[in-house]
Amino acid sequence: MTVETKIAKVTGTAVPIRGNDIDTDRIIPARYLKEITFARMGEYPFYDERFDSEGKPKSHPFNDPKYQGASILLVNKNFGCGSSREHAPQALFRFGIHAIVGESFAAIFAGNCVMMGMPTVTVTSIEIEELMKAVESNPRGVLSLDLEKKSLSCRERQIRFDIPDSYRSALMTGSWDCTSMLHANLDKAKKAAAKLPYMTAFKG
C-alpha cells in the first residue's frame, strides 16, 4: 500500500450547490454516458444547468469565478439520488471536487465516491446552512476536513461530521484504491489465478 492512496484530510475552498434531491442525471446528463473513457467527464458536471442550448454559460456556482478552484462541495439532502451511474462522481472529481459535505447522500452515489477516494460526509441541516452562508460570504475561505477526528473546520468553527466507519477506514488506510491494491499484490493474484481451473483450460 502506498502512502499516496491514504486520505486523512481534505483542505481547500468550497462551492455550495443548493437544493434537495439533486439526481445523477442533473450531475451528469445521460448523453455523456456513451463516452468510452472518463477522460473528459470533468467538462460535463451540471452541464445543462451551466450552459444554454447554444453552449453559452448560465448563472451557476460551477461557472462563478469566485468559486474557481474549489475542492469541497456543499450540498443538501439526498444528493446523488436516481440512477447509480458512476459517471456522476467521476465528473465531479475530474472537475476538481475532492470531498462532499451534505445533509444526506444516496447510498450508491456515496459508495461510488469512496471507491474513487472522495469522502462524502454528513452534517445537520443547520450546520450545512451555516457552512453555505459562510462560503457565500467569503468564497476564498479555507475549509479543512479531518477524517481521523471526524471534524470539519470553517474559520474558527469546528463541526463534527458523520461518515460510515467502513468508508472512513477504507479512505484512511488506502484500501479504497483497488487498482493500487491489485498492483501491490500482483504476484499473489497471479498465483491465485494459476490455481483456477477456468484459467488453465481445466487442465489442472
- DSSP letters, 110-151, are HHHHHTTT--EEE--HHHHHHHHHHHHH-TT--EEEETTTTE
**Distances from the Cα of 152 to the Cα of 3, 95, 128, 156, 169, angstroms:** 22, 22, 11, 10, 17
Residue spans of the domains in the chain: they are: 3-175
According to the model, what pLDDT value does residue 33 have?
A: 87
Low-confidence ranges of the chain (pLDDT < 50): 1-3
The CATH superfamily of 3-175 is: Aconitase, domain 4 (3.20.19.10)
Gap between the Cα atoms of 162 and 4, Å rounded: 24
Q: Return the amino acid letter for 73.
A: L
Q: How far is CA 159 from the centre of its chain?
A: 20
> Would you call 23 exposed, middle or buried from its count of C-beta atoms within 10 A (0-12, 13-18, 19+)?
middle
In this structure, the strands spanning 9-12 and 14-16 are unpaired
pLDDT, residue 204, reads 56
Residue 107 has which C-alpha cell? 447510498
